[in-house]
Structure 1
């Protein structure tokens, strides 16, 4: 079991297995999505529920979307470049030193 989050809102991350990256905008300390969503993941790749899960403003070469990803499947993004997602400006104040500054209205 992984008990503490390795990433914070504003961090830019990359998926370990799939070719996409994104910005963390929220964190669940353990899995908090639907059972249907969880069961749709192939069993051999299904992450354990008892770890942080991250909500990301994600992008790949083709599109922007919202992703929900387990901590075990994320690594820090080494590019530190901007993420091209249409909701970035609504959630963040800009990119500074390789991470986004969360707008005050969205801080917990």
Structure 2
């Protein structure tokens, strides 16, 4: 089945997306109209978030971190996200990793 991938970070102001140290949501839309979402985090971004939380007091001062539909990657680039999505579809794990979106809650603008 054909699909397209929308990546939130591609909507950011140019220069704000650091593929080595960021996180971004990705929505996969299949030709049947179904949409699925996951959040891609780089390993470096996890450390950055933990360090920030230690300073701000969030998440018990950095003692834990969670994200819904979290996928950890070495880099948060379109190429890597496409590669992971393709692999998850081929391996049959896509619906385990991604969550189906409710249509009324999606704003891709």
TM norm structure 1? 0.27
Normalising by the residue count of structure 2, what TM-score does the alignment of the two structures yield? 0.27
Q: Which has the higher contact order (CA 8 A, sep 6+)?
A: 1
Bigger-Rg structure (1/2): 2
Structure with the largest fraction of helix? 2
